[in-house]
Structure 1
Amino acid sequence: MYFFAGLKEAAGQEKWEIDREEISIGELRREAAAAFPEAAEVIGRSMMAVNEEFASDSELVTSSDNAAFLPPVSGG
């Protein structure tokens, strides 16, 4: 799983691996928030992408998928 933008800085790393064959996005979000408490707020507000497609918390991710947290951004 990959972290992007400010979430990468908050987590202190770009890539995180967990030892699960299959997990829901919601479970992945909870595990990431527990593993990176300093980034938990942003993880909770981030969109998830699986294989470059947006995914909901009920969708499953397998060990062969590419998953990424995409934090909210603002511009002007």
Structure 2
Amino acid sequence: MITLHYFAGLRELTGTSQEQADLAGKTVEDLMEWAADKYPGIENASARVAINEEYALPADVLEDGDTAAFIPPVSGG
């Protein structure tokens, strides 16, 4: 199982801040497609995915016990 975290506006879009999904062995790209199917509109949020607190690439493979975070764009000044 993978623990998923949603931050800021993504928490509102999904209706949850955290959930678990059986996505071990899938890629980050697969995770994004899964999220887009479950939560229409999340693909428009320009979110980045971090796995175990490091930004991930689309081809990175998820392992059982990983933590994935959907992080929306951040700006500052």
- Deviant stretches of 4+, over 2 Å: 73-76
* Structure 1 equivalent of residue 16 of structure 2: 13
Uncovered stretches (5+) of structure 2, i.e. residues with no partner: none
| Length-normalised TM-score, structure 1 | 0.85
Higher helix share: 1
What's the C-alpha RMSD, in Å, of the aligned pairs? 1.4
Question: C-alpha deviations, 1:24-68, integer Å up to 9, x for none?
Answer: 0000000001100143311xx111111111111110111211110
With normalisation by structure 2, the TM-score equals: 0.84
Aligned length: 74
Q: Does 1:30 align with 2:37?
A: no
Contact 2:23 2:62 in 1 (8 A): no
Question: Which consecutive unaligned segments of at least 5 residues does structure 1 have?
Answer: none
